[in-house]
DNA sequence: ATCGCTCTGTACGTTTGCGCACACATGAAC
DNA sequence: GTTCATGTGTGCGCAAACGTACAGAGCGAT
């Protein structure tokens, strides 16, 4: 019934890929390729920013921490973005938690080097600010989505987002993790997932999820999906 | 039982006030002082950015629009900030709605002049990016707050925020408006407000609100209030 | 083959908030 | 003072989600 797929295309971070050749060449020596593991915490609120990460195929979850009991995912970051917006805006510390949702590679640069590079005001700066903007839009929209839409729709939305970022209909995510992302009970996810499976839109087992009917799932998802999906295009 | 207070201190926008004298002098000719009226819409999602506004004593509500039925306030902007973050990040259009919550004065600058000024990379740019960062943090935190906390706590939070920005315990806000901000029913606000009044924390009548026990209200409010309150300090 | 951990399913009462509908109160306008 | 718009109060029934608890299912490890 289920099949694990771990194959991985070697697609680089899009922001870096968009840089002019010269700037890219000059920049590369500053970067170090790192491999990040699922569950790893890249940042905690209040923590000093040491590194900026540009995901290749790793998937990062950005989470607002309210207190011990409450935390809520506000954005999902893949190769279209980067971790460390705060540094680009002149802040010294993170305000959110960043955890690895799916293991993979990323390019990492030291905070100081990053800031210096931005001073030059080149293409990197432009890309970084541009992304910052769409990240803000994403966060704001997700906020409203979490406020208004039912768990089932939000779950569909979230699964589709992951699919798009991962580039595959198969990925791993437990109900527990999803519940933390959507800010609901684990049982709430189980129930919603159950309903989606009953309609043959998805299939899952012990953390392995498969989208079996993407088009159908899109119909169930709230319109927020469409909005967030290509938010980086319409900025 | 109730008293309208319309007196208004002439306090300038803090971001502009923080600029070095020389930069401030050079910049001022570009600005035009405008008076904004309650309910006025400064920006709609998708609309081209023509002007950037730096509030003096006007209060702006930043709202994410999901669809015809659903909209949610994600931030409240007073003289510590400005409207038009998108422009500073290189975007040409707004992504959110900005409405005037309380009438007052602001300094306005054309989008082109604003962008050119930012190119210089002076103190204004630093201030602008810095504020962008705290705005993001505010939006993210508000998102979580809206997800987890009860209406009553959020209402208390929201009233205190307005008080701080207005600099007075008296201001005008109808239940209807508050309901749109918190993304709940009007009746939900009425009920919560009722409860707060029963405890002698606030008083109100037909749009006029008075905080009669600020300390008490703070206890009722979620901790988010403390966080958002001076978010601009700890950035 | 069994144990044990993690993940998923089910259940139950409770709370919060929703949608709707309508009554009442206030203050400004005439 | 009467009228009228706007703001506030109340009262339903209902749906969604919560907190909690526990039972079964899958899979790896010994």
Q: pLDDT digits over A141-190, tens only?
A: 999 999 999 999 999 999 999 999 999 999 999 999 999 999 999 999 99
pLDDT value at A234 more than 70: no
Q: What pTM was estimated for this model as a whole?
A: 0.91
- Residue B235 and residue B222: Cα distance in Å, rounded? 21
Nucleotide nearest to B1 (CA to C1'): C26
CA dihedral sign, ordered A187, A189, A192, A194: negative
Q: Nearest residue to nucleotide D6 when comparing alpha carbons to its C1'?
A: B206
Nucleotide nearest to B208 (CA to C1'): D7
* Per-residue flag: B204 CB under 7 A of strand D: yes
pLDDT of residue A11: 55
Residue given tokens 């309150």 in the structure block: B229
Residue given tokens 């870096």 in the structure block: A16
Residues linked to residue A61 through DSSP beta bridges, in sequence order: A76, A99
- Taking CA–CA distances from A74, the nearest residue in chain B reads B140
pLDDT of residue B136: 97
Three-point CA angle B66, A43, A87, nearest 5°: 75
Give pLDDT tens digits along chain B (235 positions). 343 333 333 458 999 999 999 999 899 999 999 999 999 999 999 999 999 999 999 999 999 999 888 999 999 999 999 999 999 999 999 999 999 999 999 999 999 999 999 988 889 999 999 999 999 999 999 999 999 999 999 999 999 999 999 999 999 999 999 999 999 999 999 999 999 999 999 999 999 999 999 999 999 999 999 998 878 765 4
Task: Find, among B186, B132, B127, the residue nearest to A136 by Cα.
Answer: B132
Q: Can you read off the two tokens belonging to residue A178?
A: 């999803």
pLDDT value at A31 more than 60: yes
pLDDT of residue B79: 92
- Nearest chain B Cα distance for residue A107, angstroms: 23
A74 in B contact zone (CB under 8 Å): yes
pLDDT of residue A232: 75
* Per-residue flag: B194 CB under 7 A of strand D: yes
Residue given tokens 């060449």 in the structure block: A25
Which DSSP category does A56 fall into?
Answer: S
pLDDT of residue B233: 63
- A7 Cβ neighbours under 8 A, 6+ residues apart: none
Distance from the first to the final alpha carbon of chain A: 41
Of B140, B143, B183, the CB nearest to A148: B183
Residue B181 has a CB neighbour count (10 Å cut-off) of 22
The residue-averaged pLDDT of A198-215 equals: 95
Mutation test of the interface with chain B: which of A143, A223, A224, choosing the one with the most B Cβ atoms within 10 A?
A143
- Nearest chain A Cα distance for residue B27, angstroms: 21
Q: What is the radius of gyration, based on Cα positions, of chain B?
A: 18
Which DSSP category does B28 fall into?
Answer: G
Mean pLDDT across chain A: 91
Which comes out higher in pLDDT, residue A233 or B224? B224
pLDDT of residue B11: 55
Mutation test of the interface with chain A: which of B68, B89, B224, choosing the one with the most A Cβ atoms within 10 A?
B89
Residue A207 has a CB neighbour count (10 Å cut-off) of 13
Secondary structure (3-state) at A98: strand
Residue B98's alpha-carbon distances to A46, A130, B61, B69, in angstroms, are 30, 20, 6, 17
- Residue B98 and residue B193: Cα distance in Å, rounded? 25
For residue A64, the chain B residues in CB contact (below 8 A) are: 140-141, 143-144
Mutation test of the interface with chain A: which of B93, B122, B126, B147, choosing the one with the most A Cβ atoms within 10 A?
B147
Contact between B147 and A85 using a beta-carbon 8 Å cutoff? no
Residue A3: band (very low, low, confident or very high) from pLDDT cuts 50, 70, 90? very low
- Residue B209 and residue B206: Cα distance in Å, rounded? 8
pLDDT of residue A17: 92
**What is the SS3 assignment for A139-205?**
HHHHHHHHHHCCHHHHHHHHHHHHHHHHCCCEEECCHHHHHHHHCCCHHHHHHHHHHHHHCCCEEEE
Give one word for B131, left, alpha or beta, with left for phi > 0 and alpha for psi -120 to 50.
alpha
Residue given tokens 């405890």 in the structure block: B199
Angle, helix B111-119 to helix B123-148, in steps of 10 degrees:
110
Residue A233: band (very low, low, confident or very high) from pLDDT cuts 50, 70, 90? low
Residue B29's alpha-carbon distances to A173, B26, B33, B120, in angstroms, are 56, 7, 10, 17
- Nearest chain B Cα distance for residue A112, angstroms: 16
pLDDT value at A8 more than 50: no
Q: Nearest residue to nucleotide C15 when comparing alpha carbons to its C1'?
A: B150
- Residue A231 and residue A46: Cα distance in Å, rounded? 28
Q: What is the pLDDT of residues A91-138, one digit of tens each?
A: 999 999 999 999 999 999 999 999 999 988 889 999 999 999 999 999
Of all residues in chain A, what percent carry a pLDDT higher than 90?
85
Q: Can you read off the two tokens belonging to residue B105?
A: 């004065």
For residue A122, the chain B residues in CB contact (below 8 A) are: none
Residue A69: band (very low, low, confident or very high) from pLDDT cuts 50, 70, 90? confident
Contact between B141 and A64 using a beta-carbon 8 Å cutoff? yes
Q: Can you read off the two tokens belonging to residue B85?
A: 């973050």
Residue given tokens 């600005």 in the structure block: B31
The residue length of chain B stands at 235
Contact between A183 and B130 using a beta-carbon 8 Å cutoff? no
């Amino acid at each position: 019934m289920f099949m694990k797929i771990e194959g991985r295309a070697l697609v680089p971070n899009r922001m870096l890929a968009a840089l002019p050749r010269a700037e890219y060449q000059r920049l590369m020596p500053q970067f170090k390729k790192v491999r990040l593991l699922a569950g790893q915490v890249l940042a905690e609120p209040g923590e000093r920013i040491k590194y900026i990460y540009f995901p290749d195929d790793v998937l990062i979850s950005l989470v607002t921490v309210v207190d011990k009991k409450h935390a809520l995912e506000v954005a999902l970051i893949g190769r279209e973005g980067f971790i460390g917006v705060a540094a680009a805006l002149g802040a010294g510390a993170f305000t959110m938690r960043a955890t690895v949702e799916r293991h993979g590679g990323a390019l990492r640069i030291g905070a100081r080097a990053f800031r210096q590079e931005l001073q030059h005001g080149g293409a990197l700066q432009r890309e970084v600010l541009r992304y910052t903007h769409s990240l803000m839009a994403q966060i704001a929209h997700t906020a409203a989505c979490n406020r208004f839409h039912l768990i089932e729709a939000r779950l569909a939305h979230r699964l589709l987002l992951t699919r798009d970022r991962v580039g595959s209909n198969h990925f791993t995510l437990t109900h527990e993790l999803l519940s933390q992302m959507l800010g609901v009970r684990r049982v709430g996810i189980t129930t919603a997932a159950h309903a989606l499976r009953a309609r043959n839109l998805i299939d899952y087992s012990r953390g392995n999820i498969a989208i079996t009917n993407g088009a159908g799932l899109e119909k169930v998802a709230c319109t927020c999906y469409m909005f967030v999906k290509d938010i980086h295009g319409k900025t």
